[in-house]
Amino acid sequence: DAKTTQPTSMDCAEGRAANLPCNHSTISGNEYVYWYRQIHSQGPQYIIHGLKNNETNEMASLIITEDRKSSTLILPHATLRDTAVYYCIVRPYSGNTGKLIFGQGTTLQVKP
């Protein structure tokens, strides 16, 4: 079972920041938070991951609370192409197997 809780759906206006929350209250100290997204009819795409510090890359920013029980993915200037299902995943620590357990994710609809 997925160890994260996300809202089922969210809307965002084009050009605005999209803030996608994720709850992972049972996260262990050595587990990372990963975000992937899946655009319609495509395979999932990696966005970003973090352990406890905030992270930023060319796609998004990841803000993790100090207690690590929740996080927020921020798309700073959402475009129509960002419409997708966003998955927040806590990666089980099992050596280097890279196993991902997907939940149902948040469907983000970016509107013009």
- 34 is a contact residue toward other proteins (CB under 8 A): yes
Task: Please list the residues that pair with 12 across neighbouring strands.
Answer: 110
d(CA 46, CA 22): 16
Rule CB under 8 A: say whether 102 interacts with other proteins: yes
Regarding 45 and contact with other proteins (CB under 8 A), the answer is yes
| Choices 17-25, 54-62, 66-74, 92-100 (CB under 8 A): range interacting with other proteins | 92-100
**By the rule CB under 8 A, 30 interacts with other proteins:** no
In the sheet that 32-38 helps form, which strands lie side by side, from edge to edge?
9-13, 106-111, 84-91, 32-38, 45-50
CB of 74 closer than 8 Å to CB of 60: yes
84: exposed, middle or buried (Cβ count in 10 Å: 0-12, 13-18, 19+) = buried
The only residue of 46, 57, 76, 80 in contact with other proteins, by rule CB under 8 A? 46
Contact flag: residue 52 with other proteins (CB under 8 A) = no
Least distance from other proteins to the Cβ atom of residue 88, Å: 11
Q: 5, 32, 63, 74: which one contacts other proteins (CB under 8 A)? A: 32
